[in-house]
Amino acid sequence: MADVARLDGPFAPATIVAPEANVPPRPPAPNPQGVPGLDSHALALLAAEACDDRKAVDIRLIGVEAISSLADWFVICSGLSDVQVRAIARSVQDQLEEKAGRLPLRQEGQDHGRWVVLDYGELIVHVLAPNERGYYDLEAFWSQGQQERYVSPLQPPA
């Protein structure tokens, strides 16, 4: 029997069931809507670009396909105010709908603007205020995933 764990917090699902041992990894998520053949990493890059368009801070992509059945990729970034957090989330929604034909399956946190979560199935986007990002430290929690830092094409070379 699988272990069942409960997560607390406003964005936690009711339960998460740990996968059984020796279960093969799930196949890539189908693209039920939108651009045919667009893989989850390309979708994550589109989301990161949308975050960058609204001047999000410290944009990270984390590949969790090998360690979680929740999603293939997370995009995590910060906005410096409630207004900016909401604007970044809105930019992601608009860009993924326009460029990939995708709408979020679920979304949470738009009203408060401290932590907005957009769930696209194979991609989950977290837009957090700096205090929330520091407190929950999602990058450390998912540290065994494939970590990528998004570098803006507009950023001057170091």
Q: Does residue 67 sit within a domain?
A: yes
Q: Structural domain of residue 114, as residue ranges?
A: 39-149
DSSP, res 144: T
For residue 125, tell me if it sits in a domain. yes
Distance CA 154, CA 54 (A): 13
C-alpha to C-alpha distance for 56 and 95, rounded to whole angstroms: 15
Q: Model pTM greater than 0.85?
A: no
User: Is 124 inside a domain boundary?
Assistant: yes
In a domain, 11, yes or no: no
Q: Is residue 27 part of a domain?
A: no
User: Domain holding 50: CATH number?
Assistant: 3.30.460.10
135 in a domain, yes or no?
yes
Residue keyed to tokens 């960058």: 52
pLDDT tens track, the chain, 158 positions: 444 444 455 444 444 444 445 545 544 444 445 556 689 999 999 999 999 999 999 999 999 999 999 999 999 999 999 999 999 999 999 999 999 999 999 999 999 999 999 999 999 999 999 999 999 999 999 999 999 999 988 776 66
Please check whether residue 81 lies inside any domain of the structure.
yes
Domain count of the chain? 1
In a domain, 109, yes or no: yes
In angstroms, the CA 39 to CA 37 distance is 6
Q: What are the helix and strand counts (H, E) for the chain?
A: 4, 8
